[in-house]
Structure formats: structure tokens, C-alpha cells
């Protein structure tokens, strides 16, 4: 499951960009972009924000996809994953009410 990397690859190809062009924007190398698109590497939050601006897409949507994959990576092999997500959701809802 690599929706983030596939999404970035599709955005890049749609604009006829080479991996090295996207790498230059992110101040990284082509190997990183290749691994990002395959799901072998993760972008940083700052890189996600740069890509959203560069591709002129919703920062919230791209960050949500990126965060969702980070959560999945942590929970994918956990038997109690769904229960843990419910606990986290309650905590997030509680924290947002406090603010």
C-alpha cells in the first residue's frame, strides 16, 4: 500500500516532469524520489508542503494522505490496530475541544 508515492508519481508524470526536476525542488537526489514513489522512503512534512504548493493541490489533502500512511506504517502489523485508532481518535477529539 503506497498511495502517497503513487500519487506523487502520477502528479509528476501528469506534468511531464523528470524525477530529477522534482528532486531539485525538494533539494534532494533522484534516488530519493524513486524510493519515495515506490514507498521505500518517506517525505518529510516540509517536503509534503513544498510538493502541495508546487503541484498546486490541497496541502490538507496531501498531508492527510502522508499522515495516514505514517499511521498505517505504525499499526499495520498490530492486532489491536482498530482499537488503538479509536483511542487515538477520542484523544484527538478531546484535545480539539480543549483548544
Instruction: Return the domain boundaries, the chain.
Output: 3-98
> Looking at residues 62-89, what average pLDDT do you find?
93
23-67 residue pLDDT tens: 999 999 999 999 999 999 999 999 999 999 999 999 999 999 999
- Domain covering 3-98, topology: 434 Repressor (Amino-terminal Domain) (1.10.260)
Is residue 95 scored above 80 in pLDDT?
no
Residues 6+ apart with CB under 8 A from 69: 1, 2, 3, 4, 42
Q: Residue 96: its pLDDT value, please?
A: 67
Q: Cell numbers for 38, please give them.
A: 515506490
Q: Residue 93: its pLDDT value, please?
A: 86
1-20 residue pLDDT tens: 569 999 999 999 999 999 99
> Looking at residues 64-85, what average pLDDT do you find?
93
Amino acid at each position: 500500500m503506497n498511495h502517497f508515492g503513487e500519487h506523487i508519481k502520477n502528479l509528476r508524470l501528469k506534468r511531464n516532469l523528470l524525477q530529477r526536476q522534482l528532486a531539485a525542488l525538494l533539494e534532494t537526489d533522484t534516488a530519493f524520489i524513486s524510493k519515495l514513489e515506490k514507498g521505500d522512503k518517506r517525505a518529510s512534512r516540509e517536503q509534503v508542503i513544498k510538493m502541495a504548493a508546487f503541484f498546486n493541490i490541497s496541502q490538507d489533502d496531501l498531508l492527510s494522505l502522508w499522515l495516514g500512511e505514517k499511521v498505517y506504517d505504525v499499526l499495520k502489523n498490530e492486532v489491536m490496530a482498530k482499537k488503538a485508532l479509536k483511542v487515538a481518535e477520542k484523544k484527538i477529539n478531546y484535545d480539539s475541544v480543549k483548544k
